[in-house]
């Protein structure tokens, strides 16, 4: 059985195993997908260990996507390098065919194993975000996008939407990081304190931070600022966030993070296996798991109130 996995910290919330295991079963692939808690400090050893043990591939999530590019043995593709983040890793010995002998020896030394192995970095987050927006009927070209966050997912989204003709503004806790990302896509950078003046100017508002992932997270901005003509996309997928609730109340197009998760995962699965991913089954698996999780939380809350 081949093993695939996702590395992150925290990782307990991830529904990638539910989604990918459903896809692997549907495709008849003898494999399993598992979640592993891996810190930034341990990322190098964890990836090398996965390569040495013959893993079929990896996904990376918070906070590892940018850190992966610092690893000297990882060969990132042009898209991942342009974005500045990696969310998918493939182990492909076939990729060494035609390589020079010194490259082969270097890779063998890196992974500390006898079998030739090539560790490649990819980014499928931007692809996932674009398809999620298009699924919801949102026009990208010439749209004014307010992107909140400047981490790995935000970088992928900014790069992809700029290529589709969007005008990008970045708001982030660190103004320096906001400016750096905005400059790379021809946009403007702002601090989070500017959100209330920026919201009304945007056609598309995207939360690419982890705010909303946990119950009790504060709002990023006053939801009453949202307008009916806007699209609001929250990449958080593990709960119905306050941002999405506010968007629906305002009559905005509200898009959760489920389809971004599904589409980026589908693309990763195709990279690893060459098979066309069953997107509909993957979405259903995620939404059923979310419903089950919500039901369990409801039962716990009911018991606690008795």
- The residues that are catalytic are 65
Among 9, 62, 57, 69, which residue's Cα sits nearest to residue 33? 57
Q: What token pair was written down for 297?
A: 């939380």
SS3 (DSSP) at 158:
helix
Taking a C-beta distance cutoff of 8 angstroms, is the pair 26, 281 a contact? yes
C-alpha R_g of the chain: 20
CB 170 within 8 A of CB 188: yes
CA angle 116, 121, 124 (to 5 degrees): 140
159 vs 147: CA distance, rounded Å:
11
Closest CA to 260 of 127, 168, 87: 127
Structure tokens at 22: 């459903």
Report angle CA 242, 248, 249 to the nearest 5 degrees.
85
Residues 250 and 230: their CA atoms lie apart, in Å, by 9
Lay out the sheet containing 119-122: strands in order across: 31-37, 2-8, 57-60, 88-91, 119-122, 75-76
């Amino acid at each position: 059985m081949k093993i695939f996995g996702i590395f992150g910290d925290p990782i307990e919330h991830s529904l990638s195993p539910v989604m990918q295991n459903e896809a692997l079963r549907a495709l008849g692939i003898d494999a399993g997908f598992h979640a592993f808690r891996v810190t930034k400090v341990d990322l190098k050893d964890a990836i090398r260990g996965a390569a040495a043990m013959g893993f079929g591939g990896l996904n990376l999530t918070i906070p590892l996507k940018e850190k992966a590019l610092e690893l000297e043995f990882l060969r990132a593709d042009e898209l991942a390098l342009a974005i500045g983040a990696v969310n998918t890793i493939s182990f492909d010995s076939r990729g060494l065919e035609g390589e020079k002998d010194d490259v082969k020896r270097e890779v063998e030394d890196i992974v500390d194993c006898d079998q030739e192995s090539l560790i490649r970095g990819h980014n499928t987050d931007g692809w996932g975000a674009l398809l999620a927006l298009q699924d919801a009927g949102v026009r990208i070209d010439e749209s004014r996008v307010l992107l909140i966050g400047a981490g790995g997912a935000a970088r992928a989204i900014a790069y992809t939407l700029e290529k589709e003709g969007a005008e990008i503004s970045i708001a982030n806790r660190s103004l320096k990081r906001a400016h750096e990302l905005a400059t790379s896509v021809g946009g403007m950078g702002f601090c989070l304190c500017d959100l209330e003046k920026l919201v009304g100017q945007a056609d598309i508002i995207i939360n690419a931070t982890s705010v909303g992932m946990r119950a009790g997270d504060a709002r990023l901005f006053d939801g009453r600022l949202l307008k009916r003509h806007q699209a609001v996309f929250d990449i958080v997928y593990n709960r119905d966030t306050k941002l999405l609730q506010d968007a629906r109340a305002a009559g905005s197009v509200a898009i959760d993070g489920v389809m971004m998760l599904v589409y980026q995962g589908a693309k990763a699965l195709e990279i690893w296996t060459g098979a066309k991913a069953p997107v509909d089954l993957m979405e259903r698996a995620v939404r059923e798991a979310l419903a089950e999780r919500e039901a369990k939380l409801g039962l716990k809350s009911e018991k606690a109130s008795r």
